Structure 1
């Protein structure tokens, strides 16, 4: 164990890593409930998607553990699955194309192969390490705000509003009230240095929800997004459904090269920069960057992500990517790949005991996500808001565009574009690393596709 993960060198223990792995898993397990329903809209079998999601998450997370020794969990990405279902498959189905999900899976496979090639040539690794420090810090802060918003949304504390874009949710709902109580509980445990405080906060909030359901305050209404908080074993069978293995359609590619290329590029763009932003943010939170602000073994971490995407496509699920919620486990003390091993084991366990894991509601993880968001916000103290205008403005754009456009990738896009343009206009073009020029070009192409 010590030889594999270097626990002493990283100042951690097996017990701490186990608690961190469980915390990470509980923070990302919602994908096992969300992804089957999301891809069912694309015409896929929900049971097969559940199995594929759990197995691909376990495989990719184990790759992260043993390739890179980082406490990062991977699974089918939110946002990427929505694009898969609603931007690719639904329009194709409406156009009369049968089983469009097989075409989407083919695009995910090609994207994953391209990522493996980019990782072999160290493009992604260089991008992670050559992003300017102020921009890295801005990305970390932006991700903190982003996951805070994700948590608040899960509890209904923040809702959409036609007039003001966002508004305060109904404070009388049990989801809102119990999430806030859970946050206070986590704060108290953190103050007294209680081990596993985030994990206990999640369990505490879930327990309060169960009580609320028993006394009739929490009303079960699956159609309204309020499922029962008790595990449901009705109709449950021990063996998971078979995944849709190698369900690819290469015939479409030959006759629709341009359309297929656009689909692949969109997957590529979102996955590339979501992953880069997540790794930078989680690494900064866990003090895993070296003295030069670089991420050691970044290439291995990115290769794990690429291999996970290919494996996910072969199993029958949307793009697999690193999860920013891994920062919850890092905040719990996770520092090595052993955290990822425990998380991966729980993904496999979930295959056989899915009712238990799927009973944990989104609002129960809200306190942990909010608290981690606060911790990640601390990086703003290290940022500079004076001096080089490119560093200052680029970092700020990364911060604000992530939560306000609900996309980590958009924050990185506007941060880098702003940074490069200001470097050129202030006569400092020679300070721009080639990989930043390449990223700028990719983002320019992305904006063109959005305009067209």
Structure 2
């Protein structure tokens, strides 16, 4: 029976139980709060990083801060109540860079028109979701690739964490190299990783969140964490006005932004699919067939979130892989999403406190979650080359190309090809073949 109907049929139950079915999910409100706070802490960086990128287009920094907060809160709440999953959403990294540096920067398109293109990509998503095409895509992903996607995302977010910590740095000769471990920022991250690992080993409730908070405090004494300039600051909604509702949809239509809209559409689609599959695999949300119940609702929340984000004044809103940190901390229902949304909204008032949490404090959480997600490789049939090679390429391509979507694309190309040449083509869903061809065309024409 639909969850909404069940909730309405049980008025005597506590409100949280009626809305989120905590007992059925094997969780408690305390775990959900800790999980939600953990997710928020690991993705709160977007409050500052998204405006720093997008403001290069001429959009006012503080206005984009407001747009980022409200779009994240709105989309995450929508996901929580539509699906009862602990998936958090916010403006997507990569997509905001494409928006700022390619569409507006290189192509010279006004940011208002670019936001119109983002809105249109969200509208196309809604149509694809209503026609159940997006849900069909998730269901058509072979179990091997689902496991590989989860493991690959684990490596991907671990790389983000190591990079944020300064443990892994760019090198012109070797591409990557070990950072300067004596650097205070890097040293703090290493201490945070040790603290978080110890807390997890001791099975301390909310170990990841506690690790973030403890590391932040240690950072104050090390001179890495800045001291807060007060505790409270009253927000002014007037700062939002320069970007709120300023998108130019008709301008995007007139210019025929087919390639731009498709690029937004493509990256968001497979980043979302990858995130939903990866986090769902970790949280045990997939059914016995490897499908995600209520997937269509999750995809609808993502699509509507993108449209709302464009109206609010920010590039594409998408599901966040950092949700895995909250799931690792115990989150299993939409109540965690409500906590994440509340965290974003409250950050409007406590920006002086939120602003001091350094990347060195959240980086260990990403590394730990990556370690937890990599165990999904156990479900891959490594003895079968037609399963093992596509899985391996999917896993390593995500961190090596710094793109979840690219890893998925290469896996979708290689998996049906190997099955076909090995005489096992009938094992592959027809949609997997179609997606493989589309990915090849994508690399040919939109590389």
TM-score normalised by structure 2 residue count: 0.93
Report if the CA contact (8 A) 2:231-2:353 is conserved: no
Q: How does 1:111-130 map to 2 (within 5 A)?
A: 111-130=121-140
1:263 pairs with 260, 266, 269, which one?
260
Question: Could you list the per-position Cα deviations for residues 97-130 of structure 1 after superposition, in whole angstroms to 9, with x for gaps in the alignment?
Answer: 5xx1112101110110111111111111121122
Q: How does 1:228-307 map to 2 (within 5 A)?
A: 229-232=226-229, 237-240=234-237, 241-243=239-241, 244-257=243-256, 260-307=257-304
Q: Secondary structure at the match of 2:176?
A: strand
User: Alpha-carbon deviation of 1:236?
Assistant: 5.4
Distance 1:238 1:411 in 2: 40
Change (3 A) 1:3 1:427: same
Distance 1:253 1:329 in 2: 37
1:47 pairs with 37, 62, 74, which one?
62
User: Alpha-carbon deviation of 1:251?
Assistant: 5.0
Aligned pair 1:143/2:153, yes or no?
A: yes
Runs of 4+ in 1 over 6 A off after TM superposition: none
Distance 1:61 1:254 in 2: 29
User: Alpha-carbon deviation of 1:85?
Assistant: 0.3
Partner of 1:224: none
Aligned length: 430
Distance 2:255 2:399 in 1: 35
User: Alpha-carbon deviation of 1:435?
Assistant: 2.4
Partner of 2:378: 381
Distance 1:86 1:186 in 2: 36
Q: Which runs of 5+ in 1 are unaligned?
A: 219-227
Report if the CA contact (8 A) 2:247-2:313 is conserved: no
2:173 pairs with 135, 140, 163, which one?
163
Q: Secondary structure at the match of 1:71?
A: coil
**Quick check: 33-42 or 244-253, which moved more?**
244-253
Aligned pair 1:188/2:198, yes or no?
A: yes
Partner of 2:208: 198
Partner of 1:62: 77
Report if the CA contact (8 A) 1:67-1:300 is conserved: yes
Q: Secondary structure at the match of 1:352?
A: coil
Q: Which runs of 5+ in 2 are unaligned?
A: 1-15
TM-score normalised by structure 1 residue count: 0.92
Distance 2:316 2:59 in 1: 15
Distance 1:269 1:232 in 2: 42
Aligned pair 1:10/2:25, yes or no?
A: yes
Question: Could you list the per-position Cα deviations for residues 177-196 of structure 1 after superposition, in whole angstroms to 9, with x for gaps in the alignment?
Answer: 11111111111111221101
Partner of 1:131: 141
User: Alpha-carbon deviation of 1:254?
Assistant: 4.9
Aligned pair 1:34/2:34, yes or no?
A: no
Q: Secondary structure at the match of 1:179?
A: helix
User: Alpha-carbon deviation of 1:363?
Assistant: 1.2
